[in-house]
Chain A
Amino acid sequence: MNVVLDVNIVLDLLLKRRPEYEAQSRCFSQLKQAGVQLWFPACALPTLDYVHQLEIKRLQQANQINSLLAPKQLSRQQLDIFMDSLNYASSLGVHVAMIPKTHPDREDALISLAAWELHDETVIWTNDKHFQSVVSQILVYDHIQLLNLIEPA
């Protein structure tokens, strides 16, 4: 099984952004322990970089982060360490033409198409309730749905 992490999940995990962080962290750990292949869509890396850097900068200015590193360096180092756990899912040029004209978010569409390129059963992990997969076989789960899938009843 493959799980593709959306940008918001990586940010939630790295920065402990949400009240449900503990459950998200448990979900991430259990997915790895279960041998699930974890992926990040290469097409979303710039978005992750930009938002992560901005969040780090904001938190440093608010004195919430105690580090001698500049925001850009800290962001890059944090991502490099974390991304060591993940594989990158590739996008293809032909994916662009496969996005329906009415799709509300082309990045989400590209993420779901990158997920579709992976072999085996694949789901996207996001906290975005409005995330729309272009491909019906690619399901979109939050951490609760994923935990239900991997944790024994």
Chain B
Amino acid sequence: MQLTALYDNGQLIFDSMIQLRQNRLPIVVIIPDHEVILASQSPASSTKASQPVGEQDANLIQAQKLLGPGYHYVATAKTDHELLAEALSEKYL
């Protein structure tokens, strides 16, 4: 289920009424890049979130975090062209 919410000083306030089965549970929150102050940045010296940090790019790190902890790529024997053909056949055939 996907909902929109307002972040207010450490609390998430959902836009619509919803009852949850548990009082405490993990959820996924998406925060716009430009609203995040990275640990290496002070508020006074904060720069655009898309700027690189050290060897790794901040946008790339943030995108990869969505894959969750312990992510590991498992290779497929298929080429990108074969994957594309498979995806297109799912969509159009």
- Chain B count of residues within 8 A CB distance of the other chain: 37
Complex Cα distance A50/B83, Å? Answer: 8
Q: Number of A-B pairs whose CB atoms are under 8 Å?
A: 101
User: What would 9 more interface pairs be, CB under 8 Å, given A25-B56, A29-B60, A85-B50?
Assistant: A8-B80, A16-B71, A16-B73, A26-B55, A29-B52, A29-B57, A32-B52, A50-B91, A79-B63
Complex Cα distance A148/B68, Å? Answer: 33
Complex Cα distance A13/B73, Å? Answer: 11
By a beta-carbon cutoff of 8 Å, the part of chain B in contact with chain A is 2, 26-28, 30, 33, 50-52, 54-57, 59-60, 62-64, 66-76, 80, 83-84, 86-88, 90-91
By a beta-carbon cutoff of 8 Å, the part of chain A in contact with chain B is 7-8, 11, 13-17, 25-26, 28-29, 32-33, 47, 50-51, 53-55, 58-59, 62, 64-69, 73-74, 77-79, 81-82, 84-85
DSSP class of A's interface residues: helix, strand, loop or mixed? Answer: helix
Residues of B within 8 A of A50 (CB): 83-84, 87-88, 91
